[in-house]
Amino acid sequence: MQDIDNDTKRLSRLTAILTQLQTKRLITATELAAKFAVSVRTIYRDIKALEKSGVPVLTEEGKGYSIMEGYHLPPVMFSECEANALITAEQLILTNKDASFVKEYRNAINKIRSVLRHSTKDKADLLSNRVLFAQNSDDIRTSNNLSVLQLALTNFQLITIEYLSGDTQEVTKRTVEPFALLSTQGNWLLVAWCRLRKDYRNFRLDRMLQVHTHPEKFEPHKMTLMEYFSVSQKKISHP
């Protein structure tokens, strides 16, 4: 009986490891061992078992494991609780004021719905009709560039924006390096290095009149978002 339990636990862990490999670009044996509360040696054995079963696991020496690009895993099956969380999140996303974000999430959630079991789909539809967030009940959309800015941020692409100042109502053209995106009450702020001001600036998406993405790349920013907040706080405290 104990052997059966151990085999079940191992099968569950192998499936979970496979999901981790599918989700992340690279993951180390140490990270996997910590996540599943087993030894690194056990993870080595699990990876070998996956390889023997035909999963193309790639090992990057000193960096970690990844799945061969182009290898397609079977569709992920969601539990009812996981499906409920996603459906609830969908209703929250629909209150967002950026039209591109709403559109892309709807496309993503439709793909997720396509792999749900029929019984779970019915329950998800019921929940979708019974959950409502009061924020932005008028479905006001104030921006439409979040999707473009997300791509520019993750691909380290320069963008030029025509920006309307809230104080002077002056329109300026800025070439910036996207660094982070912040959500404030359904509206969005882009944190970016402004080449005109030679410093980090916050830009409200609802004041961006035009957004143009350049093929030119910029060097990735070295600091983390938490470090940025720390530096910003020091500037406020010691202007």
Are 124 and 162 in a shared domain?
A: no
Q: Evaluate whether residue 141 is within a structural domain.
A: no
pLDDT band, residue 76 (cuts 50/70/90): low
User: Is the model's pLDDT at 7 over the cut of 70?
Assistant: no
Give 89-123 pLDDT, tens digit per residue. Answer: 888 888 899 999 999 998 888 878 877 777 888 88
The pTM score is 0.67
Q: What's 76's DSSP letter? A: P
Residues 123 and 63 in one domain: no
Residue 5, CB-side half-sphere exposure with 13 Å CA sphere? 2
| Mean pLDDT for the chain overall | 86
- What CATH number has the domain bearing residue 191? 2.30.30
CATH, residue 38: 1.10.10.10
What is the mean predicted confidence (pLDDT) over 114-143?
A: 81
Q: Packing angle between helix 146-154 and helix 99-114, nearest 10 degrees?
A: 80
Q: How many domains, the chain?
A: 3
108 and 154 in a common domain = no
152 and 228 in a single domain? The answer is yes
Confidence of residue 232 (pLDDT cuts 50, 70, 90): confident
Q: How confident is the model at residue 200 (pLDDT cuts 50, 70, 90)?
A: very high
**For residue 114, is it within any domain?**
yes
Q: Tell me what pLDDT residue 111 has.
A: 79
Q: How far apart are CA 191 and CA 203, in angstroms?
A: 6
Determine, yes or no, domain membership for 139. Answer: no
The torsion defined by the Cα of 79, 81, 84 and 90, in degrees rounded to 10, comes to: -80
Question: What does the pLDDT read at residue 134?
Answer: 75
- Of 135, 138, 175, the residue nearest 158 (C-alpha): 175
Q: What pLDDT shows up at residue 63? A: 87
Residue 171 has pLDDT above 90, yes or no: yes
73, part of any domain: no
Answer yes or no: do 224 and 186 share one domain: yes
Q: For residue 25, give every residue at least 6 positions away whose Cβ sits within 8 Å of its Cβ, in sequence order, or none.
A: 66
pLDDT of residue 73: 61
Give percent above pLDDT 70 in the chain. Answer: 92
Domain shared by 19 and 42, yes or no? yes
Closest to 206 in 3D by CA, of 229, 225, 184, 173: 184
Both tokens of 93, joined, read: 């996303």
74: pLDDT strictly greater than 90 = no
Is 75 inside any structural domain? no
Q: How far is 15 from 230, CA to CA, in rounded Å?
A: 40
Q: Has residue 81 got a pLDDT over 90?
A: no
Residues 163 and 222 in one domain: yes
Residue 1 scores a pLDDT above 80:
no
Q: Do both 124 and 182 map to the same domain?
A: no
Residue 4 has pLDDT above 50, yes or no: no
Residues 7 and 44 in one domain: yes
Looking at the fold, whether 159 and 231 belong to one and the same domain comes out as: yes
In a domain, residue 133? The reply is no
| pLDDT exceeds 50 at position 14 | yes
pLDDT at 23: 77
Residue 102: count of CB within 10 angstroms of its CB = 20
Return the number of other C-beta atoms located less than 10 Å from residue 62's C-beta: 6
61: tokens are: 């020496």
Kindly indicate the confidence band of residue 178, based on its pLDDT and cuts at 50, 70 and 90.
very high
122 and 152 co-located in one domain: no
Identify whether 138 is part of a domain: no
pLDDT band at 75 (very low <50, low <70, confident <90, very high): low
Asked whether residue 29 falls in the same domain as residue 53, the answer is yes
User: In the structure, what pLDDT confidence band is assigned to residue 41 with cuts at 50, 70 and 90?
Assistant: very high
Tokens of 224: 């983390």
Whether 135 is in a domain gets the answer no
Domain enclosing residue 112, as ranges? 80-128
